[in-house]
Amino acid sequence: MLFDQVLVIAGLTVLIMVSPGPDMIIVMRNTILDGKRAGLATSLGVLTGNLVHIAYCAVGIGWLISQSILAFSILKYAGAAYLVYLGIMSLRGAGKGVSLEAGDGGAARARRTHVVQGFLNNILNPKGTLFYLGLFTVVITPQTSTGGVLLLVATTVSISALFWVFFVATLDAPLVRRVIEKGQGLVNRIFGGVLILLGLRVATLER
């Protein structure tokens, strides 16, 4: 039974990871424009957001959010506004050839900013709530032991982490990097437009 649950969790996690969404876009954007460390820092923020989703879904708060129109709407519009904000910042930086973190801050400050971006982008996405709520209500049953729950959580988090490491490493490959550096302003404009469109899409989500 537990082995079957692990397979289901693994399969669902892979499917959700390879599906384009706000998390993938922001990690891709920061990796391409700011480098591998920025991409990994953003991924760390996303994973931290996942852990928060898992924690509150495990104690039942996720179910309350999914059932409350007000709570779901607040989460939805906050997430949409944040995506639009990132998109606008990216468009503003397009003509200057700079990233979202343009300024005099050091590398450590930039990495913290990337972590926060990944975290907020993930935690404000209502789809994250619904995905992990589905895992805890469909895959994880009342008969699943505490150890089993921990194993399932570790499975989904580990697969997510491995995916982000592979994804960032691929985007930071020398060939990709050389191509991107030749048109950084255009890349900023593209990601700015995509982030704004994603924000508008999130704003129109139905539960």
Q: What is the pLDDT of residue 199?
A: 78
If we measure between CA atoms, which residue out of 75, 60, 43 comes closest to residue 159? 43
Tens-digit pLDDT profile for residues 38-61: 999 999 999 999 999 888 877 776
Question: Would you say 42 and 27 are in contact if contact means Cβ atoms under 8 Å apart?
Answer: yes
Question: Would you say 158 and 51 are in contact if contact means Cβ atoms under 8 Å apart?
Answer: no
Cα of 1 vs its chain's centroid, Å: 30
Q: What is the pLDDT of residue 67?
A: 73
For the cut 70, the answer to whether the pLDDT of residue 97 exceeds it is no
Please state the rounded mean pLDDT for residues 77-93: 80
For the cut 70, the answer to whether the pLDDT of residue 12 exceeds it is yes
Tens-digit pLDDT profile for residues 117-134: 999 999 988 777 777 877
**Structure confidence at residue 18 as a pLDDT band (50, 70, 90):** confident
Please state the rounded mean pLDDT for residues 103-110: 64
Cα of 176 vs its chain's centroid, Å: 22
For the cut 90, the answer to whether the pLDDT of residue 64 exceeds it is no
Please, what is the average pLDDT of the chain? 80
The more confidently predicted of residues 177 and 148 is 148
User: What predicted TM-score, i.e. pTM, was given to this entire model?
Assistant: 0.77
